[in-house]
Structure formats: C-alpha cells, structure tokens
Amino acid sequence: MSEALAFDPGLPIRLAKNTLSFEYGAGMFGPQPEMRRLDAIRPSLRDPKCDGPDPVYGIVMDIGLEADRPVLQERMLLFGAVLYASGSLGSEPVRSQGHVHAVSPHSGCVAPELFEIWSGTAIVYGQERAEDNPGRCVAVVAGAGDKVVIPPGWAHYVVNADPNTRMCFGALCDRQYGFEYAGVRAHGGLAWFPEFTASGKIAWQRNERYARSVLEHRPARAYPELGLDRTATLYEQFLRDPESVMFVSDPQRAAAIWPDFVP
C-alpha cells in the first residue's frame, strides 16, 4: 500500500503507507531508506529524555530517473528525499538534529542546500553559525510545492510543523555531501528550540548555551536572485536547464549573493 504526495515533484515516487519508506515507479532509481533513530536526535533536543516516534524519519539519498543519472553525476548533483513521522518528540515537533555541511572535496567549498516540500507543512530553521554567537536566525514556514534555500555554512534543521500528519520533502544537494555536528552538539542543539503550546501552535524557546539572538519568522519566498523558477518543480528545472541549479554543487557561482543572503 502506498499514498501519493500532496505535490507532484515530477518523479514517479510514492510514500509507503505504514513505514517511513518510499516506492519508486518505472524508470526511477533510488536506495532503500536509512532510518534515523530517536537516540540520534536526542542530544539536540530541549528534553533529551523525551518519548517520541522511533524511527523519527527515513531518508534516501541519490534518487532520480535512470536516464538522468549521468548528468547528475557529471555535475556533482544529488537529489534526496526525507519522510518524517507524525507525532512529537516530547513537547517538540518531529525534526532533525541539525548540522552544518562539510567542505565538499571536489569544490573545496561548503555547499548550500535547496529544499522542496512535497507533503505536509515544514519549518526550515537556519542560523548563520554553530558558534557561541549564532548570527542571523531564521525560521521559514513552507508548504507543499514551496522551495527553501539554506546558504553555505549555515547550521540548520527541518521541522514537521503538523503533529497530525507525516511530512515529506525533497532536496538538491552536492554529491559529495557531508555533515559536521561538532558545534551543534557542543551547544546541545541549535540556538532556538521549537515547542508546541497547549493550543498546538509552535512557540520558540532560546537555547541559553548561545549568545542572545533574534529569531526572524518568514514564509517561503521566491529566489529570483538564484534564478529559481517558482512555476517549475525542482526536478523539472534541473532537466530543462541544469546550469540554473549548479550553484548547489558550485557555490562560487553565487559568491556575490551569499554574504547578505537570508533564506
């Protein structure tokens, strides 16, 4: 049994009904999902001893149409997909633990990440640094079909904002992706914790291991400065014009944009 995504990403992919897994249609390649367990998330939660769904989410990295695999490999691009459980992690929404991207060996740069929400409602949280002073902190609310860009070097995590439903997103990444956790773990998470109120809304609590910061809330937006087409799916834009998304694996192409960029 499977269910369709709320947003059609232009790939023959469906959600398994009873597990955090994916089903691939004709002509599509992809691995079996890797399950992220609750114990891996605990160190970055406000209450590390909380109860919650386990596994928290399933992730597949390197998916696409078989015919497009050579182009993805040549351009050092990689599509991934993540399916989050419903429910909560104690008083917090289901989310990832947070990380910073490592330097990609082929480019010598830290890559950005481009998210596209496929089902449910997500909050993409990012902060400029995983250091004592986190810099700018932004929480972007995104629904099915919205895109969110996290710039190079920003620490970030993704939240399932609705405990009553599962949430799924796709992401365009650097093929030589890697994650750095040291700064996040040294601070017991990122600078702001999302937490459900009694009415079911999300409030934000400051992580006192960081210097004081201001959290900016914003809806998902278009990114004309990066040449993203809001009318096309992420995969469609890649197929039509691979050059237009090369800032992901070659972030120097957008070097003039990144210093003042906010998701």
Mapping DSSP onto H, E and C, the string for 102-159 reads CEECCCCEECCEEEEEEECCEEEEEECCCCCCCCCEEEEEECCCCEEEECCCCEEEEE
Q: What is the pLDDT along the chain (263 residues), one digit of tens a residue?
A: 789 999 999 999 999 999 999 999 999 999 999 999 999 999 999 999 999 999 999 999 999 999 999 999 999 999 999 999 999 999 999 999 999 999 999 999 999 999 999 999 999 999 999 999 999 999 999 999 999 999 999 999 999 999 999 999 999 999 999 999 999 999 999 999 999 999 999 999 999 999 999 999 999 999 999 999 999 999 999 999 999 999 999 999 999 999 999 89
Name the β-bridge partners of 116. 147, 170
∠ Cα 136 201 221 (to 5°): 45
pLDDT at 228: 97
pLDDT of 211 reads 98
Q: Which pLDDT score is estimated for 119? A: 98
Domains annotated for the chain, with CATH where assigned, are: 2-254 (2.60.120.10)
Comparing C-alpha atoms, which of 46, 50, 54 is closest to residue 84?
A: 54
Residue type, 70: P
For residue 40, the model assigns a pLDDT of 95
**Which strand ranges, in their side-by-side order, compose the sheet holding 13-16?**
2-3, 13-16, 22-24
pLDDT value at residue 255: 97
- Whose tokens are 């201001």? That residue is 214
pLDDT of 1:
78
Write out the two tokens for 256: 């003039």
pTM over 0.85, yes/no = yes
Residue 246 backbone class (left: φ over 0; alpha: ψ -120 to 50; beta: rest)? alpha
Specify the pLDDT at position 149.
98
pLDDT of 178 reads: 94
- Give the per-residue pLDDT at 18: 92
Dist. CA 228–CA 71, nearest whole Å: 19
